[in-house]
Amino acid sequence: MSREMVPEYWRNKHIYLRPKGTVCRDCGAKYFPPRKVCLKCGSRNMEEYELSEKGRILSWSVVRYPTEEFAKYAPYILGLIELDDGTRLVAQVSDVSADEMHVGMRVRLAIRKAFEESESGIIRYTYKFVPDISEK
């Protein structure tokens, strides 16, 4: 493995930034973000699970006037994504322009830079979604 690949390996292959949801053991309803009580049946019998890493775009919006932390990254795309396991979430979509976006577009999870803390220089990472070119 080359030196350039090492940071990507740790960001993408290790689970510390993988989003997790909860599933109700009684009725099977899935939630993200995780919940302690099922909205469908009221059960507290919830179990954590790792979300699917692939999905499709249901809708999107271009953010042109974000909060101060993200101002230098504007404009950027936020997408409503339905994962292959049926869970829906809102997340940033990167590596694609607004002109290339379309309903049904296949995307995959990627761990990417969110922002740098200006005083300390610490880089904060988050999950984003990128086009899934393996399914073209």
Residue 11 lies in a domain: no
Kindly report the CATH number assigned to the domain that includes residue 66: 2.40.50
Residue 37 lies in a domain: no
Residue-by-residue pLDDT tens, the chain, 136 positions: 444 455 555 555 544 567 889 999 999 999 989 999 999 999 999 999 989 999 999 999 999 999 887 888 899 999 999 999 989 999 999 999 999 999 999 999 998 887 777 777 777 788 899 999 886 5
Residue 127 lies in a domain: yes
- Note down the domain range covering 117: 53-135
By the 10 Å C-beta count (0-12 exposed, 13-18 middle, 19+ buried), 78 is classed as middle
Total count of domains within the chain = 1
Residue 121 lies in a domain: yes
